[in-house]
Structure 1
């Protein structure tokens, strides 16, 4: 069991006695033995070997914290979750084990629609209360930045309450980004009127933005969801408002969604098991991040791997995320995602950790985090580990001592 509390670390704090995995370069761990971090307010003021500490950080006004040989990495970032929802779908898990496919369950009225019904029945306070322990579980393994998508309300009122509940998770000490995913599924009241629903999704966006609830816009482009043409309409609405886009793309089939998203300069395309060479080329040209979701791959017992080698060769940044949701990835372990990325996708431990830090930050359009470097946000994790590869090696073991988010220390106590 883990609990977390937040305490102010002060304006000028020096963290010493650590091995730093800065991930500051394009390759390798960026290891700094006998390293130190100088934190001023919510920023990293200096990062490097303690022997090279600037004179201005040796004064009496600096609080010094000795980490006793711990490993320090950037704070972990979960760049794709559906953390706010009502109900659960364990019955569908049983059905899949008996042979039903995810697509068959969705077409029979289960899947996302069943979660929509439960989410609509719940009030904002209840949704927030349900999401808090999920967020705390991720925080207990080093989470400092969280993305939460809507998409289980599918009406203006219900989408808004989900986004508000997600925003409130920031009260836990997290940095929270909210993504509007109105184009997630067709609600029952729009049965047979999919284009009318897309009109509604586009019409709700300005009001949600005006309420300060939208950082990005997402859509589910798939045979069981929305077509490329319908997705384009959603993206055009987002572009009119100056909002960045993301896309659930090529999860169950190749719909050329990645190329469409890249055309709009998408921050990320996510899932990507059926991604084509043309889609990879388009993503490479636009700088779009590939977000891979090993939890969904595992839970749905998928067999078609995302084209990892081709993404690497093309220079497409690769992030990983939990994709936490009640239907296809009910996992709440960032460390397990590291291990799964290595075991299922054959990513290296360094690639996997970059996927939860450097590239996850890129997938959210947040260049001020994901690495340990002067000027960036003071988000970092302190681990009982000798080398960062251990974070992907173990599963079922949590070596986190505590995480620091925005210069504030969140102690993690394991009992």
Structure 2
């Protein structure tokens, strides 16, 4: 890889030094020496730059990263990064910056010597839109109650459904905006958000319209996922097949008609949706242009990983109890594993997803927070990375790739975000000290967050 990567659509390809050759004169005389005058080396224009970066970790290269390549995140010491109109124009060593980059007169220049810079985090699995509060469930969980026990007593997802159905879209937008602000402060610049707390047509549409409104007004980029098959609502418990039909035949077409979501998800879990029901919903989404992803093997080996491979899902998420055959099927079908260590931690499951087995099998591993009202509200991607390292055996580089370029690939956004490469959005996180200082619990190491070439949180 070259020391610096450069992008300018108007850049001319020119030689670095004068060339010299001999030719015969046209009248048959002797040889004549022709000397080409030196060209001025083409200049990259920029209106935002970070110079003399302590450590630049661009995560550049192809996506997704799998196997040994999951750890491909080289460090450039004394690096530089520059953008024009929110797009990266230069990424590389600072020694090349002075020669290659021309800054606009009003350009913002940041002294990067105190900082390491990594790509903005991509949180590929959240339930950030909801109403109500389930803080009482945390007390019960700490006292020993399980997820299944709480759900059986009317808590869990069903509790949030009641509150979300009663809330207005304006109330959902206001509540969610504060959560997104917390996520942004933790370095997240792009987040996926699911519906799934409506469980009837109008409430599901209300949630997705709230996501659309926030996408237009918040600094973060948001990616919407329809999750009408999150749970079977109480009114359909005795006729669950009717609810699956409602989701597949009424909700999916309505969501697609308004273009409110890009993805379709389903909670494939024992006691929730079976593998066949899950496939039915996802195939209905595919028929309407909604790409598939799935909650799989979270509380037990539910068959979700096999469904993911069967329908060609981009990602299977959770995977705490994924069986060997599920891992093999995902590897063959090129399905990403989006792992949510925060959820396993808060649910006190006593185990985490087998990240090392997934990496050895060649499955691309992404990370996400699973921001939600019950299974642990943690907006922090660095915390997810920390748990991934200490509880799942990832290296720092593997965790960083999982939180950036692989997560972007899992959302089909890898051409736009997830790495600091010319042409992509200038989304970056400034970390005090070395990049590995992101791996910590307690005092935050993030000093600033950049979105499209503008500091949207913090100071630098």
Q: TM-score, normalised by structure 1?
A: 0.93
Q: How many residues align?
A: 403
Determine helix, strand or coil for the equivalent of 1:192. Answer: helix
Q: 1:251 aligned to 2:324?
A: no
CA distances 1:44-91 after superposition (whole Å, capped 9, x unpaired): 122111222385522555725132312110001111110011111122
Determine helix, strand or coil for the equivalent of 1:398. Answer: coil
Q: 1:378 aligned to 2:426?
A: yes
Equivalent in the alignment of 1:402: 448
- Matches of 1:59 and 1:229, distance apart in 2: 57
- Matches of 2:106 and 2:365, distance apart in 1: 38
- Matches of 1:128 and 1:244, distance apart in 2: 25
Equivalent in the alignment of 1:71: 116
The one of 230, 233, 236 aligned to 1:184: 230
Equivalent in the alignment of 1:6: none
Unaligned segments of structure 2, at least 5 residues: 1-44, 62-68
Q: 1:23 aligned to 2:98?
A: no
CA distances 1:345-403 after superposition (whole Å, capped 9, x unpaired): 12111111212111111111111211111122211111212x211101x2111122211
CA distances 1:149-199 after superposition (whole Å, capped 9, x unpaired): 100011111011111112222212110001000000111221211111111
- Matches of 2:104 and 2:270, distance apart in 1: 63
Equivalent in the alignment of 2:22: none
Q: 1:219 aligned to 2:266?
A: yes
Equivalent in the alignment of 1:3: none
RMSD after superposition:
1.9
- Matches of 2:417 and 2:144, distance apart in 1: 43
Displacement of 1:148 = 0.6
Equivalent in the alignment of 1:271: 318
Bigger shift: residues 19-28 or 268-277: 19-28
Determine helix, strand or coil for the equivalent of 2:141. Answer: helix
Give runs of aligned pairs for residues 105-116 of structure 1, distance below 5 A. Answer: 105-116=150-161
Q: Contact conserved, 2:425 with 2:452, CA < 8 A, in 1? A: yes
When Rg is computed on C-alpha atoms for both structures, the one with the higher figure is 2
Determine helix, strand or coil for the equivalent of 1:401. Answer: strand
Q: TM-score, normalised by structure 2?
A: 0.84
Displacement of 1:406 = 2.1
CA distances 1:258-287 after superposition (whole Å, capped 9, x unpaired): 111122221111110110111111111222
- Matches of 1:402 and 1:115, distance apart in 2: 33
- Matches of 1:411 and 1:306, distance apart in 2: 32
- Matches of 1:97 and 1:59, distance apart in 2: 55
- Matches of 2:165 and 2:384, distance apart in 1: 30
- Matches of 1:67 and 1:262, distance apart in 2: 47
The one of 202, 207, 211 aligned to 1:162: 207
- Matches of 1:285 and 1:261, distance apart in 2: 11
Q: 1:120 to 1:35 in 2, by over 3 A?
A: same
Q: Contact conserved, 1:107 with 1:224, CA < 8 A, in 2? A: no
The one of 90, 96, 108 aligned to 2:141: 96
Bigger shift: residues 17-26 or 243-252: 17-26
Determine helix, strand or coil for the equivalent of 2:392. Answer: coil
Equivalent in the alignment of 1:357: 404
- Matches of 1:82 and 1:60, distance apart in 2: 41
Determine helix, strand or coil for the equivalent of 1:248. Answer: strand
- Matches of 1:54 and 1:11, distance apart in 2: 12
Displacement of 1:307 = 1.8
Q: Contact conserved, 1:14 with 1:57, CA < 8 A, in 2? A: no
- Matches of 1:389 and 1:149, distance apart in 2: 30
Equivalent in the alignment of 1:5: none
Displacement of 1:408 = 2.5
Q: Contact conserved, 2:187 with 2:449, CA < 8 A, in 1? A: yes
Q: 1:199 to 1:35 in 2, by over 3 A?
A: same
Equivalent in the alignment of 1:118: 163
Give runs of aligned pairs for residues 281-320 of structure 1, distance below 5 A. Answer: 281-320=328-367
Unaligned segments of structure 1, at least 5 residues: 1-9
Equivalent in the alignment of 2:178: 133
Displacement of 1:121 = 0.9
Q: Contact conserved, 1:267 with 1:289, CA < 8 A, in 2? A: yes
